Amino acid sequence: MNTSHILQWLKKHGDSLIASVAGFFIIYFFTKHGGIGISPDSIAYTSTARNFVAGNGLMIFGGHPLVDFPVCYPLFLSLVMLITKLDVVTCAPVLNGLMFAVVILLSGVIMERFIRRSKWYKTILLIAIATSPSLIEIYSMLWSETLFIILSLLFFFSLHRYYRNHSLRTLLVPAILAAIAFDTRYAGITLVATGEILLFWDKQLKWKEKIKHLVLFGIIGCSLVTINLVHNAVATGLLTGKRQKGITPLSDNIAYSGSVLSDWTSLWGDNHYFFIIVGLLIIALFVWLFIKNLKKKQDYHSYENIVIAFFIVYVSFIVLSSTISRYEQINNRLLSAAFLPFLWGVTHKVPAWIRALRDRRHKWGVGIIFTAIAIGVCANYYAINTDNYSFMQESGIPGYTEDCWRESPTIRFIQRNRIYFDPDSMVYSNHNQAVYFYTNYAVDAVPEKAYKGDVKMFADESPIVLIWFYSDPNPELLSLKDIRKMKKLKVLHSFDDGAIFLCLNRDTTSTGPPKLKTSFTHFK
């Protein structure tokens, strides 16, 4: 690339480059106090990456196969470890800062290719994207969504390129990207579904050709996750780990989605029915936009229509799957991949509306109104980020790198006194991820109440060392009250934030600290 091409590129994308650099430093400053945010899911990803690099295969801590999550994100982290020669937790702040910068840069390039593009519009949205609390939360944590969002943007690029000639060769790239995304997050099925829907309604494809493209895209898009699921079934007898049936009604899940969408637009409201209406209206708006685009070839094959289709499929999938299967309440993390499509979907018509106005005063009026709304939204983003940054600089990012965990008396004790990690000990904890994170020792998790077989196995084990933390209680697990009903508990050590117990069956007499059978494994 010669100098004139570089200058031309900078003229077109210089604003995106500046915003991406700003985004990198935002993540750097948010993670400066205590490092990257670590959740229980993050522990599964990092331990799998470490074990893979160490030659132990795709195993989480404790030597169990990774089945609850697909493998591409841990494999990505292991590749980063091999390249940098650093542990993934150490390099994660820089890694996530770079990934956030890539998201912002790709977003700017996509907006530069909108049918009705505008520098003024693009600048406003770049500021909104770089300062979005939604994306900053994601890229401050070690989560698979960080990679998934980049893959989704690359998918939009490649699918738009396929529209140029509708060849099988150009279809391979979006199909492969969909396959990688599907094996990064199970929600990646939405990229496969989006591609299938857009191919099906594409009027430029004749039916014979369309069927061929649909089949090829579907096979490739589902290929990696199929291999992954077969491996899971062979290794554990379960496709995606233990899953419970959903207990949250559809209306509640729509309300939770509406609440997140309201936060993204800085709408104020705390009424359940208000959030249901917001959720339904926004989905209806996107469906209406997609149907309208069916009539026009240029609009149908646009970036705008691709992201509109993805938003409909993705949000619908999250709402329905949350109703069928039980997992955490719908929140920003679960919907984060839809943030950029949402932002573009609700605003992309604004430049066209302004250009359609003949009266200059009307143009200025609409432009000022849109700018005022954007300033209000960004001002709210700034206020949220200021509060979050203030907290994180004092205590760290919520999770296992937060100060309350780093300075935990219980954690400090087990780091210095590893007597209970003797190879002959059976050790459990209600935060076994924290134990692994701070000691590199894997202990068993206190079972969830819903899994009666695991509860019975726990009840039959004796003696047991129980490392109990009072922080971040999980209502799904057996509580201390539940455990006391089935076992005799003797306090071995007590701390402000936890305790270490010796648990015995009620018909057992005990003398002191145990020499017990263990299920723990030491992984470095």
40-76, pLDDT tens digit by residue?
A: 999 999 999 999 999 999 999 888 899 989 999 999 9
pLDDT at position 9, please?
82
Residue closest to 420 by CA, chosen among 443, 402, 395? 443
Is residue 348 within 8 A of residue 304, CB to CB? The reply is: yes
Structure confidence at residue 516 as a pLDDT band (50, 70, 90): very low
User: Residue 523 half-sphere exposure, CB side, CA atoms within 13 Å?
Assistant: 29
380-390, pLDDT tens digit by residue?
A: 999 999 999 99
- Two tokens at 5? 């091409």
- Single-letter residue type at 358: R
Span of 204-213, 319-328, 353-362 with lowest mean pLDDT: 353-362
Structure confidence at residue 236 as a pLDDT band (50, 70, 90): confident
Structure confidence at residue 242 as a pLDDT band (50, 70, 90): confident
17-29, pLDDT tens digit by residue?
A: 999 999 999 999 9
Tell me how far apart the terminal alpha carbons of the chain are, to the nearest angstrom: 45
Taking 70 as the threshold, does the pLDDT of residue 280 lie above it?
yes
Taking 90 as the threshold, does the pLDDT of residue 12 lie above it?
no
- Single-letter residue type at 141: M
Structure confidence at residue 508 as a pLDDT band (50, 70, 90): low
Mean pLDDT of the residues in the chain? 90
Structure confidence at residue 267 as a pLDDT band (50, 70, 90): confident
What gap in Å lies between CA 44 and CA 433, rounded to an integer? 8
DSSP secondary structure, 178-196, as one string: HHHHHTT-GGGHHHHHHHH
pLDDT mean over 174-197: 97
Structure confidence at residue 243 as a pLDDT band (50, 70, 90): confident
pLDDT mean over 312-325: 95
Structure confidence at residue 1 as a pLDDT band (50, 70, 90): low
- Buried b / exposed e along 345-360 (16+ C-beta atoms within 10 A): bbbbebbeebeeeeee
324-347, pLDDT tens digit by residue?
A: 988 889 999 999 999 999 999 999
Is residue 40 within 8 A of residue 399, CB to CB? The reply is: no
Angle at 241 between CA 247 and CA 80, to 5 degrees: 120
Share of the chain above pLDDT 90, in %: 70
Q: Say which residues have a Cβ less than 8 Å from residue 131's Cβ, sequence separation at least 6.
A: 26, 378, 381, 382, 385
So where are the chain's domains? Answer: 14-143+357-397, 147-242, 246-344, 408-522
pLDDT at position 519, please?
39
130-165, pLDDT tens digit by residue?
A: 999 999 999 999 999 999 999 999 999 999 999 999
What gap in Å lies between CA 356 and CA 521, rounded to an integer? 67
430-472, pLDDT tens digit by residue?
A: 999 999 999 988 899 999 988 888 899 999 888 899 999 998 8
Taking 80 as the threshold, does the pLDDT of residue 422 lie above it?
no
pLDDT at position 425, please?
75
pLDDT at position 149, please?
98
Q: The pTM is what?
A: 0.93
Share of the chain above pLDDT 70, in %: 96
81-94, pLDDT tens digit by residue?
A: 999 999 999 999 99
